[in-house]
Amino acid sequence: MQVLQVQLEVGPDPAEVGRARRWARSRLAGCGIGDDEPLAETLILLISELVTNAVVHTGCPAVLRMLLGEPAVRVEVADASGRAPSRRQAGAGDTGGRGLELVDGLADRWGWQREGAGKRIWCEVDRAAAGPADSAPDGRPERSREPFGSIREPRVYL
């Protein structure tokens, strides 16, 4: 299996979130994933949330990495902050505090790990659209919780 890995360095500035979204859209389009496809829309939202969390909550530069392979696309954001990510309880009127809830709701798998003095937060979205046979009794797609094993060993670098 071939995996295409691309990465972008992100500065500690909220304006970098928009740049990360534009960069990701262009890379996805270059891999044949159109801007209007549900997969692209989901990935852009996940990237926006993870990069925003890194920029806003750490004040450190970060590295955004996308690994495009089969059967999933993996998004990783690494930063130099050793502070663990934490879910917040956002109130009805709060404008923030829902990022990790969105990640949990949109990604098929996600997690984080310490890396040196910092951390890496990752999520994966399966490329195959869930059909009726893949639905749970409540109609929502079933989620595989198996790790995307070989994505950690990309063979193609850009």
Domain that holds residue 74: 4-157
pLDDT in tens, 69-90: 989 999 999 999 998 887 767 6
Residue 138's pLDDT is what?
A: 46
Q: What is the pTM of this model?
A: 0.78
| Alpha-carbon span 108 to 147, nearest angstrom | 10
pLDDT in tens, 138-148: 444 444 444 44
**Nearest 5 degrees, angle CA 45-CA 48-CA 53?**
130
DSSP state of 149: G
Q: Which two structure tokens, joined as six digits, stand for 10?
A: 């992100």
Domain count, the chain: 1
What is the overall mean pLDDT for the chain? 82
Residue with tokens 């270059």: 30
Size of the chain in residues: 158
DSSP state of 142: P
Q: Which two structure tokens, joined as six digits, stand for 138?
A: 């409540």
| Alpha-carbon span 90 to 69, nearest angstrom | 34
Low-confidence ranges of the chain (pLDDT < 50): 130-158
DSSP state of 127: S
CATH number at residue 28: 3.30.565.10
